[in-house]
Amino acid sequence: MSKTKKIPGFRSEDEERDFWSEKDSSEYLDWKKSKSVIFSRLKPSTKTISLRLPQFLLEEIRLLANKRDVPYQSLIKIFLKERIDRELKRTA
One-letter amino acid identity for 57?
L
4 conformational bin, left if phi > 0, alpha if psi -120 to 50, beta if neither: beta
Whole-number pLDDT of residue 2: 64
pLDDT under 70: residue ranges of the chain = 1-2
For the chain, the structural domain boundaries read 55-91
Read off the pTM: 0.53
Residues 61, 20: Cα–Cα separation, whole Å: 49
Listed in sequence order, the residues at least 6 apart from 50 whose beta carbon sits closer than 8 Å to its beta carbon are: none
pLDDT of residue 65: 97
What is the structure's pLDDT at 43? 77
